[in-house]
Structure 1
Amino acid sequence: MPKFQFNCRDRQGQVITGQEDAASSEDLLTRLQARNLIVVSISQEGAIEARQGSSGIKPSSRRKRYRIVSGDLVLFCRQLATLLGAGVTILRSLDIISKQIASTKFYNVIQDLEKNMEQGLSLHDAMAKHPKVFSELWVNLVESGEASGNLAIILDRLATYLERNAEFKKKLISALSYPAILFIVGLSAMLFMTIKIIPTFGELFKSFNVELPVLTKVLMDISTVIRKYGIFLFGGAAALFYMFRKFVATKEGRRMVERLQFKLPIFGELFRALVVERFSSELSTLIESGVPILYSLEIAEQSVGNLVVADIIHDVKESVRDGRPLSLPLEKSGFFEPMVVQMVTIGEEVGELSPMLKKVNAYYQSYVENFLTRLTAMFEPIMLIFMGFVIGIMVIGMFLPIFQIAKLG
């Protein structure tokens, strides 16, 4: 019977290595998993394990791009969950996945994960070395999965969370892209008429020595100012934008801007809904994966992406630490709608907090999608009317002198 070397971790994260006789690597894998061990790698003694060929998949000879996109992380998580669920060891799973990665940067990251795990680090510790790729949410969920022995299940939940978020972002971009394109096209048309068409007509009118209508004079003056001082106007706008960015880069500046976002007419509720959607999505995923409520709130505080709401979550966390139910500080904050508070209250009472938070998340996703659909439907005719009005004024202003010249003729 062949002898195999194995590298495992127990539920406390301690590295366990050894040798054991088994009919096959799959047989040994089953036996080790039955002992509640997390199998990192198994190799037959005396066999030279070639990394390039260990998975039976040829590595990609040419990476398509360098940067990492969100789709890479979604695919990586789903593939890793599937492979681990099928009983493949972590190292071999990473090796298989790395050969199919389209991003050079992500390929290097996965190679580094393998290297660190071979040196004895756990998967979550190896991921923590790449904070720009794997967020706190990733690291803590993987740690929870390793500790409970349910890594494949938790990665599957994480993949579902990432896929849901990616689909939601895609819908947001799709809803906002048409109004943005419409605005850019309209602005470009107006600038072209102001810089090119109006000056051409102006030179023509001067040759006839006629008194120009007030509207035509105003349009020509605007055209002159833009052509002569456009570079300064653009530079001033760029300088103001740069100063604004520097201001928002400070914590106080960012807090002020984010506080104003929630007070904006019409859009304030949209910003609030987006933040609550993200908060409920992350918190439900963390709690469902077995992460303690206080630790879940701490992760949500760091990753919610809004300092004002992060301060609120911090206060909520401290209140829960003092023994109060989650619903109480949520209600006291005044930020969350009564519906959210009631859903959380019911979830706590029946011991179904994660499913209730998922329902909150589904509600706010639907709310945001419907809001953007209505906004797009309203914005499109308003934008068309506005552009038609402005361009119409320009056309009228250019043709009024022509009518005067025709009358004089």
Structure 2
Amino acid sequence: MAQFNYIARDKTGKKKSGTIKVNTRKEVSTKLRERGLRLLTLEEVPETALNKEIYIGNPVKLKDFVIYLRQFSTLLKAGVTIVDSTRILSQQTESKPLRKALSAVLEDLNQGTPLSECAAKHKRIFPPMFINLVRAGEASGALDEALERLGEHFEKQHETKKKIQSAMAYPIVVAIIAFVVVIYLLTNVVPTFAAMFADFGGELPALTQFVLSVSDWMQEKWWMLIIIGIALGGLFAFLKKSKLTKYHFDYVILKIPIFGSLMRKAMLARMTRTLSSLFASSVPILQAISIVEKVVENEVAARVLRDSRSSLERGVSLTEPMKKHWIFPPLVTQMIAIGEQTGSLDAMLAKVADFYEMEVGTATDQIKSLIEPLMIVFLAAIVGTIVLSIMVPMFEIFNQVGN
């Protein structure tokens, strides 16, 4: 939302000033009239670090974007104009960033600007695929079909993302619980027994000495854990985003046992689904591949796609660079080759996408069934080690007292 400073006059003629947050300038007069005020002057407040809305990651949730696409398509099919549809959706959507963008798009639409150009001004909200498919829909006169295809595409992507998140959620939650339990034992339970062991004297087992030393370190330098956590988080973000390291980071991710295979299948599902949607909407093949290079979110695959685009520009098959790389299995390259030969590339890619989306679902179920017992054993081993380090000298103390 934009912020405005206003000066207005009430019914008694008295001047009033204040600040108001709205989506557009036109809304200011409406809001003030509802308060019984008549606008005199209006000044927009520039965005600063203090009043700027900050979003981490994608501003619009994928779920909200899918709902927007479905509703937009339905409204257009019902005969509602693009302008009226955008006005309705800007008022109904629950996503603040999307509402703000749609309000700005509505102003541009009222000035006669095509929807694709309006959306291109808000690239953080509307991805390149949306802009290109809308442009293709405008050119063919089938914008409602293009939006419906977009809705199906992002809905599939949302489902795949949720499956991966569900597979990753369990080990992450268990790891956090294990970390909290270990911290509690080392900072609250172990120190109590440490004082007892000191009173009785004697040499402690090596395991107990190690646990006690870790406990002492935790009590004195616990703040270093925070620094280490922040440093690791920063390093992770740098490796993931930096152009120098992103390729190697993505390569390692795809090679991680168990989870690497899952990420690879998800990447292939996203890539083939996006290409299928773009080809079905008559987006030129070179432009479609350029879009997918960004959508695939994996530099290893993106490099191969760039090679494929260069291959096409030289008049060679799209699949030639893919066949030489381990990231693309024969199923993908063979289906693409058949699609090129038969002229049904969009249909073949859709079939590949369906296959890998189903594979992601199966793989997530297998990972959850495999990870659950492993994480339980992991948690039991850590806690058991700490408990054992306390119990062993306790038994020795009891034996000494008994004798």
Alignment of 1:21-40 (within 5 A): none
State whether residues 80 and 93 of structure 1, in contact with CA within 8 Å, keep that contact through their aligned partners in structure 2: yes
Amino acid at match of 1:138: F
In the other structure, the counterpart of 1:354 is 346
State whether residues 294 and 317 of structure 1, in contact with CA within 8 Å, keep that contact through their aligned partners in structure 2: yes
In the other structure, the counterpart of 1:331 is 323
What is the Cα deviation at residue 240 of structure 1?
4.7
Q: Deviations over 1:37-88 (max 9, x none)?
A: xxxxxxxxxxxxxxx9xxxxxxxxxxxxx96322221111111111111111
In the other structure, the counterpart of 1:124 is 116
What is the Cα deviation at residue 126 of structure 1?
0.1
Distance 1:236 1:173, change over 3 A: closer
Residue 146 of structure 1 pairs with residue 146 of structure 2: no
Q: Deviations over 1:144-201 (max 9, x none)?
A: 0000001001111111111111122122212221222122112211121111110111
Residue 314 of structure 1 pairs with residue 306 of structure 2: yes
Gap regions ≥5 residues in structure 2: 1-29, 31-54
In the other structure, the counterpart of 2:296 is 304
Distance 1:252 1:80, change over 3 A: same
Amino acid at match of 1:405: I
Alignment of 1:358-397 (within 5 A): 358-397=350-389
What is the Cα deviation at residue 244 of structure 1?
4.9
In the other structure, the counterpart of 1:10 is none
Residue 232 of structure 1 pairs with residue 224 of structure 2: yes
Q: Deviations over 1:192-251 (max 9, x none)?
A: 111111011111222233443333222111211222233235424533543453354321
In the other structure, the counterpart of 1:341 is 333
SS for the counterpart of 2:201 is coil
SS for the counterpart of 2:365 is helix
**Aligned to 2:87, which of 82, 95, 109?**
95
Alignment of 1:216-231 (within 5 A): 216-231=208-223
State whether residues 80 and 97 of structure 1, in contact with CA within 8 Å, keep that contact through their aligned partners in structure 2: yes
How far apart, in 2, do the equivalents of 1:169 and 1:78 lie? 19
In the other structure, the counterpart of 1:281 is 273
How far apart, in 2, do the equivalents of 1:73 and 1:349 lie? 35
Amino acid at match of 1:242: G
**Aligned to 2:62, which of 38, 45, 70?**
70
Amino acid at match of 1:323: G
How far apart, in 1, do the equivalents of 2:324 and 2:386 lie? 55
How far apart, in 2, do the equivalents of 1:263 and 1:404 lie? 48
What is the count of residue pairs matched by the alignment? 347
What is the Cα deviation at residue 317 of structure 1?
1.1
How far apart, in 2, do the equivalents of 1:253 and 1:272 lie? 19
Alignment of 1:99-114 (within 5 A): 99-114=91-106
Residue 262 of structure 1 pairs with residue 250 of structure 2: no
In the other structure, the counterpart of 1:6 is none
Amino acid at match of 1:330: M
Distance 1:272 1:118, change over 3 A: same
In the other structure, the counterpart of 1:61 is none
In the other structure, the counterpart of 1:14 is none
What is the Cα deviation at residue 286 of structure 1?
0.4
Distance 1:244 1:101, change over 3 A: closer
In the other structure, the counterpart of 1:176 is 168
How far apart, in 1, do the equivalents of 2:349 and 2:122 lie? 29
How far apart, in 2, do the equivalents of 1:68 and 1:341 lie? 34
TM-score relative to the length of structure 2 = 0.80
Distance 1:189 1:286, change over 3 A: same
What is the Cα deviation at residue 328 of structure 1?
3.0
Q: Deviations over 1:360-384 (max 9, x none)?
A: 1111112222222222212211121
Distance 1:176 1:269, change over 3 A: closer
State whether residues 210 and 405 of structure 1, in contact with CA within 8 Å, keep that contact through their aligned partners in structure 2: no
Amino acid at match of 1:280: T
In the other structure, the counterpart of 1:408 is 400
State whether residues 239 and 249 of structure 2, in contact with CA within 8 Å, keep that contact through their aligned partners in structure 1: no
How far apart, in 2, do the equivalents of 1:310 and 1:217 lie? 51
SS for the counterpart of 1:207 is helix
TM-score relative to the length of structure 1 = 0.79
Distance 1:329 1:400, change over 3 A: closer
